[in-house]
Structure 1
Amino acid sequence: MPISPNQGSTGGGTTVTITGTNLGSATAVKFGSKPATITSNTPTSVTVTSPSGSGTAPVTVTTAAGASNPLNFYYIGAPFKASLSAASGPSAGGNTVTISGIGLATASSVAFGGNNATPTVTSDSLLNVTVPAGTSGSVGVSVTTTGGTNNGFSYTYVDVPTIIELAPTSGSTSGGTAVTITGTELATTESVTFDGVTAPFAVVNSTTLSVVTPPGTAGAVDVVVNTTGGSATASGGFTYVASPGI
């Protein structure tokens, strides 16, 4: 006499179907000592809604002829999430985030706000998920398993940045020029490069960066700002000028 599924939430509410023979007159189904609610009944199956419980519960079906042999049903608690490997990412999605915690082995979906993604379960304590596309701003992250759904994390979608202006637009090839970069979506800036060379920077706010140019070669070079949301390029945005020689 099979039972499907054979596991569910400790809070109850799982729809369970028990198949066998001579079940048409079923009067009761118990999970351990707790009765389940019978929702449908045929001679070969009984469908019930599981009661709350914990651990392993023997499931029995009672008919006019007596009680059946027991089948095991395993109660699973709601997952606990310990950490999210990245708290933000591009609005376009597509980046992979790792979630660690407890009770993740039966994870079936991860929701980023109203957008769902199917995770890849590595172990009971680890899963990876490709973030779906979303709208700029913060959303809640929830993991759904056989044991239930757990919330508690926040994830921020970040739009692709833009560069509006550099001031000044030129400086010495020896570097050291203080440059202010203005644009949009700059709060999550991870790096700034001048002709591919990383420059030290500070985030002033979401529209302003303070940067110090690295040494470079005379001529116009590209300036690239990389953020969680993507990258922006000012083509030929800064010109290195060689110092005069006598």
Structure 2
Amino acid sequence: MPISPNQGSTGGGTTVTITGVNLAGATAVHFGSKLATITANTPTSVTVTSPSGAGVVGVDVTTVGGTSNPLNFFYIGAPFAASLSVTSGPTGGGNTVTISGTGLATASSVSFGANSATPTVISDSLISVTVPAGTAAGSVAVSLTTAGGVADGLSYTYIDAPTISSVTPSSGPTSGGTSVTITGTGLTTTESVTIGGASAPFAAISSTTLSVTTPPGTAGAADVVVTTDGGSATAVGGFTYVAGPGI
């Protein structure tokens, strides 16, 4: 006589189906000493709503013909979500974050606002999940569902990818050291700036302005790449290195 699922919240309320034979006309289903609420019954199955409980209890079905052998049901405590390893990322999703807490071993889904993803359980205190795409930039609530219930209280911020509208001045010596202003959008969380693949010192002045010092480079056009929490933007050939004169 299988039981599915065989685990649920200590607070009760789990829909459980018990299958077997000669189950028609079930008069009672016990979870330990407590009665469950019968919601459906056929000759081969009984569906119930589990009562509250704790630990491991035996589940049996009573009909006019007698009482069945018991099956184990495991009560799972409510989960607690303590923290996110990363609290922001691109609106397009795709980055991996970990969630720490307790009671996470049976985690089945993690919701970021209206969208959800299936996590990977690392341990009872740690899960990882690939963030789903967001509907728009901004903060959303994060909640996770386990056999023991739902844990919430965390938030995650979706950030739009940056854009680059101009690089001024757009040229300078191969020796580097040119002070450049990059304008665009979504630049507040800039993590790095590269020019021609080389890292450039920068300061975020505002969400639309970066102050950058060019690194040494090779004569010719070089791509300018700005990377933020929301992703990357590239100005192809945005800065031109000019070789110095020689005689």
TM class, shorter-length: 0.7 to 0.9
Q: Which residue of 2 aligns with 1:89?
A: 89
Asked if residue 211 in structure 1 is aligned to residue 212 in structure 2, the reply is yes
Q: Which residue of 1 aligns with 2:4?
A: 4
- Alpha-carbon distance in 2 for matches of 1:121, 1:214: 44
Provide, for residues 123-165 of structure 1, a one-character-per-residue CA deviation record: whole Å limited to 9, x for no partner: 3333332222222222122211211221122222222211112
Q: Which residue of 2 aligns with 1:157?
A: 158
Provide, for residues 9-66 of structure 1, a one-character-per-residue CA deviation record: whole Å limited to 9, x for no partner: 1221111122334433432222222221111223333211001222112223333455
The alignment partner of 1:107 has SS state of: coil
- Alpha-carbon distance in 1 for matches of 2:16, 2:233: 53
CA RMSD of aligned residues (A): 2.3
Q: Which residue of 2 aligns with 1:176?
A: 177
Q: Which residue of 1 aligns with 2:235?
A: 234
The alignment partner of 2:51 has SS state of: coil
Question: Which runs of no fewer than 5 residues in structure 2 stay unpaired?
Answer: none
**Which has the larger displacement, 234-243 or 173-182?**
234-243
Deviation of 1:68 after TM superposition, in Å, equals: 3.4
Question: Which runs of no fewer than 5 residues in structure 1 stay unpaired?
Answer: none
The alignment partner of 1:11 has SS state of: coil
- Alpha-carbon distance in 2 for matches of 1:19, 1:216: 72
**Which has the larger displacement, 41-50 or 57-66?**
57-66
Q: Which residue of 1 aligns with 2:71?
A: 71
- Aligned ranges 1:62-141 → 2 under 5 Å: 62-134=62-134, 135-141=136-142
Q: Which residue of 2 aligns with 1:19?
A: 19
Deviation of 1:243 after TM superposition, in Å, equals: 5.5
Q: Which residue of 2 aligns with 1:144?
A: 145
Counterparts in 2 of 1:16 and 1:205: CA distance versus 1, 3 Å: same
What amino acid maps onto 2:93 in structure 1?
A: G
Deviation of 1:184 after TM superposition, in Å, equals: 0.7
Q: Which residue of 2 aligns with 1:194?
A: 195
**Which has the larger displacement, 177-186 or 165-174?**
165-174
- Alpha-carbon distance in 1 for matches of 2:177, 2:33: 77
Identity among equivalent positions (%) equals 76
What amino acid maps onto 2:187 in structure 1?
A: L
